[in-house]
Every structure is written in structure tokens, then in C-alpha cells.
Structure 1
């Protein structure tokens, strides 16, 4: 799980969003991003792009948690459904594997807006497909 977290947190977008892992285990990942004015379309309300990013990172990281060493993955298809405004102090995204296979992994995430008291409101759900890629060994 440490290697997975290192790969995700090395991505410039993850760092820009302030993404951090709350929990990670095989087939399941929970991440958070703070609500930042830089990503809001009105005060305190995140734009859909940031909501999508949180959902995508959580779902595809969950898919990546099932891969053997030497493999990586990448998003190839997604569908995001926004169900409520993303207002609060942070977003919490819980990713999970729906079905893992050698070439493709279907994964999903639910995204919650979390207020200052810690109450969660579902604001989006995502279904995604990740392509599993075996990294070629370096040639001598």
C-alpha cells in the first residue's frame, strides 16, 4: 500500500489538490481533499472538476491496490453522477473494486462533502474502468 500511495502522491494533480490517504487496503481506498477556494465556482462549493478528480483518484487507486508488483494502471473510462453540491471543509472519496481482471479493472467511488462537524453528504458517485499495464523491465 505504501508503493501505491507513493505513486499517487507523486502525481502533480494529487499534490495540487492536497490529496491525502485516510485508509488503503487491497480493493479499497479512502482519500480526502480540502475544499480550496482555488477549486470553487462559488464560495465554499467545489467545481465538478475537483469532485471528479477525487472520485477518479479513489476508484483507480483502489483498482491499483489489487495489482501485482511491476504493474500500474490508468483510467480509460468513467461516468460521474453529481447528486448534491460539494460544500464543506473537505471531500472524502471512498474507492472500491467492482471486478478485477488481468487487463481491465472496473472500480467505483462515492464522494462525500464533509462539514466542519464531520457530517457527510453524498455529493457524487463514479463508475470507472482502469487499464492494467505491466511495466516493461529496463533493458540493459
Structure 2
């Protein structure tokens, strides 16, 4: 498969950030490369089950976005993808100022792409603690209609 052109990373980011759940989570891209993505999500009390500690659903969502977006970065223009299977392992409490997820492609195919993400809790000092890891499969879809872009978050 032919990867996106380098300038298409902006389109990929816009597609992800147009999703209401991405906006609710406060996702922010810090890196996009072919087969790799890094996302950050602030720790918001509205997503915590205990003061300062994120609930598992938010952690899973961040990991899923990072992994599947990394898979999407390998697709040709006009293609999209969606999660069809994912498994997350929670390893440590998700506490800190934000979570940082590093997504990567494990094996890219025409129909399915296996992808993964590691999620780190980032302390105020900048120290990272691995708190979750995810392995997922994304279904690649040719010629899928694009989701309408929303105004960029300020």
C-alpha cells in the first residue's frame, strides 16, 4: 500500500480531532510520522473515578486513538480505518498532569492492520510511568466518505 503524502498528516489529525469524543478527551497530537503517532490527553477530574486518577475507559480511548491513528498514517489517500478488535492491559495508576500515548504499526496489510500503543502517566516533573499497553486490529476501508471537519479547538 502507498502511504499518505507527508502533508496528509494534517488531514489525519483534523479527521481525529473532529470526533466529539476526541474533543471531550482533550486530545492533542505531539507527533505524527508514517506508522507512528504520539497523543496527549490532560488529566481531567470529569474523567477520574478517584481524585487525580483516570478511569480505565479514558485510558483505553486514548490508547485506541493512538494505535489506530498510527495505522491510519500508513493508508493511501481516500482510505480510512476503524477498530475491529482491541485488548488493553492496565499496569499502573494513571495519575499526573497528562497521559501520553505512543501508537505504532505492528503489521500493515491491505484489509487489516495490527497496531499497538503504550500509555504513560506524565508527572509534573515530566517523568513517565507506563500505565497501560494496548494491542489492536484496524479494518482498512477504501473510499470511505470523509467525516465533515469541525472548527479546530482553540
In structure 2, stretches of 5+ residues that fail to align are 1-8, 146-154
Deviation per CA, 1:19-40: give whole Å up to 9, x if none.
Answer: 0000001000000000000000
SS in 2 for 1:116: coil
Structure 1 residue 108 and structure 2 residue 113: aligned?
no
Aligned residue pairs total 137
CA shift, 1:135, in A, is 1.7
Provide the C-alpha distance between the structure 2 equivalents of 1:10 and 1:134, rounded to a whole number of angstroms.
Answer: 20
Provide the C-alpha distance between the structure 2 equivalents of 1:3 and 1:131, rounded to a whole number of angstroms.
Answer: 19
Higher-strand-fraction structure: 1
Give the match for residue 44 of structure 2.
Answer: 36
> Which runs of structure 1 show a deviation greater than 4 angstroms over 4 or more consecutive aligned residues?
none
For normalisation by structure 1, the TM-score amounts to: 0.96
In structure 1, stretches of 5+ residues that fail to align are none
Structure 1 residue 52 and structure 2 residue 60: aligned?
yes
Q: CA, structure 1 residues 8+99, in 2 after alignment: closer, same or farther (shift >3 Å)?
A: same
For normalisation by structure 2, the TM-score amounts to: 0.88
Deviation per CA, 1:58-96: give whole Å up to 9, x if none.
Answer: 000000000000000000000000000000000000000
